[in-house]
Amino acid sequence: MSSTRRLLIAGNWKMNGLKKEARQLSSQLAKRMSKANKPAFDMVVCPPYPVMGLVGDLLKGSGVKMGSQDNHAQVSGAHTGDSSATLLKNIGCTYAIVGHSERRTDHNEKDADVKAKAEAAIAARMISIVCIGETLKQRNAGRTLSTNRKQLLGSLPTDANAKNTVIAYEPVWAIGTGEVATPAQAQEVHAAIRAELAGAIGPKEAAKMRILYGGSMKPGNAKELIALPDVDGGLIGGASLNAADFWAIAEAAHQK
Ligand code: PEP
């Protein structure tokens, strides 16, 4: 069981969140989180860059943290359109998603890029959320575990530990599709990830590291996924855009 691991509920807003929506969502979550009676979970939302200032101000003091959806591997310099971990930390981000499958696809990010970004986030004193996951083609070819193993070992930051790194297992075929991994599929991969982590960073640290599930997590399926022994919370896209849905998923974590 996950008694030593504090659950994490993370919202990835992707390229959504006009000022009005961002304001409403942040205020509602801040209100619920500060009212919650000793929540048994951490919560973070990762808005797009343009509303980070707004969201950060509204979340201040609430217990809901802010994270980024990506960061550059360099600290500063001539990289038009990018943001460094240092800049993101400076504006209030404490978590950094890296290696999301949409970035791996849209921006051709490789494991080595993801690793460098995660290391930059950690150097800026953020917690990196390293995403891995197989495509449907890889699953159907029987390459689920080997794909995740390769991505994990290639993307894991040097000096990763349970305090500075979170792994998010996100089967690509389940992201934004309404398809969700069965509990058996999710547990199989999460357990395999933890076993790989034991080899990479040692069994003690692996036992403490949080592994999130992501891929069409909703209020209706969150409880059975989060209840799994090696699932330590969720990385949620679509359902994180609705405060009531996101909170209902968090309540599943509260019940674990
Ligand atoms: C995600 O973008 O990380 C994600 C899991 O999206 P969704 O919940 O919409 O499938």
Q: What is the pLDDT of residues 114-145, one digit of tens each?
A: 999 999 999 999 999 999 999 999 999 999 99
pLDDT at 2: 43
From 170, 218, 221, mutation site for ligand 1 pocket: most ligand atoms within 8 A of C-beta: 170
Tell me the C-alpha distance between 169 and 203, whole Å: 19
- Across all residues in the chain, what is the average pLDDT? 96
pLDDT exceeds cutoff 90 at 223: yes
Q: What percent of the chain clears pLDDT 90, i.e. is strictly above it?
A: 93
Q: Is 2 contained in some domain?
A: no
Q: Is 1 contained in some domain?
A: no
At residue 84, φ and ψ (nearest 5 deg) are -90, 160
pLDDT exceeds cutoff 50 at 213: yes
Query: Can 170 be counted among the known catalytic residues?
Result: yes
Domain extent, residue 226, equals 7-254
pLDDT at 194: 98
Q: Is 219 contained in some domain?
A: yes
Question: Tell me: the pLDDT tens digits for 138-168?
Answer: 999 999 999 999 999 999 999 999 999 999 9
Q: Is 155 contained in some domain?
A: yes
Mean pLDDT, range 194-203, rounded to an integer: 98
DSSP one-letter code for 96:
E
Tell me the C-alpha distance between 243 and 62, whole Å: 15
Q: Is 148 contained in some domain?
A: yes
**Model confidence band, residue 184 (pLDDT cutoffs 50, 70, 90):** very high
pTM for the whole thing?
Answer: 0.97
Query: Can 190 be counted among the known catalytic residues?
Result: no
Q: Is 23 contained in some domain?
A: yes
Q: Catalytic residue, from 100, 109, 190, 196: name it.
A: 100
Pocket of ligand 1, beta carbon within 6 A: 12, 14, 170, 175-176, 214-217, 235-239
Q: How many residues are given for the chain?
A: 256
Question: Tell me: the pLDDT tens digits for 34-51?
Answer: 766 678 899 999 999 999
pLDDT at 38: 73
pLDDT at 10: 98
Distance (angstroms) between ligand 1 centre and the Cα of 84 equals 23
Report CA torsion sign: 200, 203, 204, 208: positive
> How many structural domains does the chain have?
1
Q: In this structure, what CATH number is given to the domain that contains residue 221?
A: 3.20.20.70
pLDDT at 1: 42
pLDDT at 256: 85
pLDDT at 254: 84
Please answer whether residues 211 and 205 qualify as being in contact, where contact means their C-beta atoms are separated by less than 8 angstroms: no
Report CA torsion sign: 244, 66, 5, 216: positive
